Amino acid sequence: MMRIALFHLALDLLSPVASSILRPRDTAFTHRDESTAVYATGDTYENFQPGYLGGTWELFKRGEYVDLSGTGYMRVRWEVEYWQGVGPLYEPTFDQVAGTLLFVAGGGGFQWGDAYDGACSHGTGCVNRTGASEYGYSYFPDGSDPWINMCYYLDGSVTITNHESGGDYNVGVEPIAYADILVDINTTPADKNTKYGYSYDPSEASCPCSET
Ligand SMILES: *[C@@H]1O[C@H](CO)[C@@H](O)[C@H](O)[C@H]1NC(C)=O
């Protein structure tokens, strides 16, 4: 199955010839129409339960998917379960896109590959959030580096499918309001291991641009 790198997705939809990776910009972005929430129309997802990764539609295993429709924003929250299995992280795909789908913001305080100096969620000696010395490290084979919270704008429909088969991971998908994305990406970093989020909405594709 063809896989689409998340960072390339929004730009590819805008222009079939564009190939450069979207650059992070600042912590504000265009407020698009949110006339409906994003809602599910079909699935093999698992429903949220207390203790689970945040998300209304939980895609925990290879092949689990959710069909989504609507005009609004959604959040895909990641969990890299390196203690369950390490290897290449085959990212979820965004397939059968009708209408507009844009990657607009990354938040939650970190990207998976960010240098990390703190208590590991499992094991010890973790240099980033994708592994630890006892387990080894998972990695993104296409070189992407998702934020823990990946936020998208949908005006139409899309199917999101989990392709876990190397390194273990989960994603939790849920509708989110524009205002809540702004709160997320503007949250003051709690410590040296966290950072402000970024906007990636293509309508701000001219600057201010950050090279980081
Ligand atoms: C996390 O660190 C490991 C070990 O140095 C490295 O192999 C891996 O590529 C890093 N992950 C990311 C996403 O940068």
pLDDT band at 211 (very low <50, low <70, confident <90, very high): very low
Report whether pLDDT(29) > 90: no
| Averaged pLDDT score across all residues of the chain | 86
**What is the Å distance from ligand 1's center to 112 Cα?**
8
Which residues, 6 or more positions from 79, have their beta carbon under 8 angstroms from its beta carbon? 53, 169, 170, 171, 172
Report whether pLDDT(8) > 60: no
Q: What 3-state DSSP class applies to 181? A: helix
State pLDDT tens for residues 68-79: 999 999 999 999
Q: What 3-state DSSP class applies to 49? A: coil
- Which of 7, 114, 130, 147 has most ligand 1 atoms within 8 Å of CB, for mutation? 130
Alpha carbons within 13 A on the beta-carbon side of 212? 8
The residue contributing the CA closest to ligand 1 atom 5 is: 127
Contact yes or no for 155/64 (Cβ under 8 A): no
Cα-Cα-Cα-Cα dihedral sign, residues 7, 11, 16, 18: negative
**What is the Å distance from ligand 1's center to 183 Cα?**
28
Please give the number of the atom of ligand 1 that sits closest to the Cα of 140: 13
Which residues, 6 or more positions from 69, have their beta carbon under 8 angstroms from its beta carbon? 38, 39, 41, 154, 156, 157
Q: What 3-state DSSP class applies to 182? A: helix
State pLDDT tens for residues 126-142: 999 999 999 999 999 98
Q: How is the chain split into domains, by residue range?
A: 35-199
Give residue ranges with CB within 6 A of ligand 1.
Answer: 112-113, 127-128, 130, 137, 139-140, 145
The residue contributing the CA closest to ligand 1 atom 3 is: 137
DSSP label of 53: P
Can you read off the two tokens belonging to residue 158? 């899309």
The alpha carbon of residue 104 and the mean position of all alpha carbons in its chain are separated, in whole angstroms, by 10
Containing 14, the helix (H) or strand (E) segment is helix 6-14
Q: How many residues does the chain have?
A: 212
**What is the Å distance from ligand 1's center to 152 Cα?**
25
Please give the number of the atom of ligand 1 that sits closest to the Cα of 127: 2
